[in-house]
Structure 1
Amino acid sequence: MRALASLLLDAALLLAFVLIGRSSHDEPLAGAWQTYWPFLVPLLVGWLITAGWQAPAAVLRTGFIVWAVTVGGGILLRLANGQGAEPSFIVVTAVVLAAFLVGWRVIAAIVRRAARPRRA
Structure 2
Amino acid sequence: MWLVVDLLLVGVFAVVGRLSHYGTLTAGGWWSTAWPFLVGTLAAWAVLVVTRRPPAAVSSGVVVWVGALAVGMLLRQVSGQGTATPFVVVATLVLGALLVLPRLGARFARD
TM-score, normalized by length of structure 2? Answer: 0.92
Q: Given the alignment of the two structures, is residue 9 of structure 1 paired with residue 9 of structure 2, yes or no?
A: no
Secondary structure of the residue aligned to 1:25 is helix
SS in 2 for 1:57: coil
**Contact 1:22/1:28 (<8 A) preserved:** yes
Choose from 42, 45, 48 the match for 2:46: 48
Matching residue's letter, 1:65: V
Check whether the contact 2:37–2:72 (CA below 8 A) recurs between aligned residues.
Answer: yes
* Partner residue of 1:25 out of 21, 24, 28: 21
CA distance in structure 2 between the partners assigned to 1:92 and 1:42 by the alignment: 17
Query: In 1, are the aligned partners of 2:11 and 2:34 still within 8 Å (CA)?
Result: yes
Query: For the residues of structure 2 that align with 1:102 and 1:89, how far apart are their CA atoms?
Result: 19
* Residue correspondence of structure 1 range 23-102 to structure 2 within 5 A: 23-26=19-22, 28-30=24-26, 31-51=29-49, 55-60=54-59, 62-102=60-100
16-25 or 48-57, which deviates more: 48-57
Q: Is the 8 A contact 1:47 1:53 kept in 2?
A: no
RMSD (CA atoms): 1.5
Percent identical pairs in the alignment equals 41
Letter in 1 for 2:81: Q
Distance 2:52 2:21 in 1: 35
Where 1:72 maps in the other structure, the secondary structure is helix
TM-score norm. by structure 1 comes to: 0.85
* Per-residue CA distance 1:83-117 (angstroms, 9 max, x = gap): 0011000000010000000110000001011xxxx
Q: How many residues align?
A: 108
Partners of 1:26 and 1:45 lie apart in 2 by 28
Runs of 4+ in 1 over 2 A off after TM superposition: none
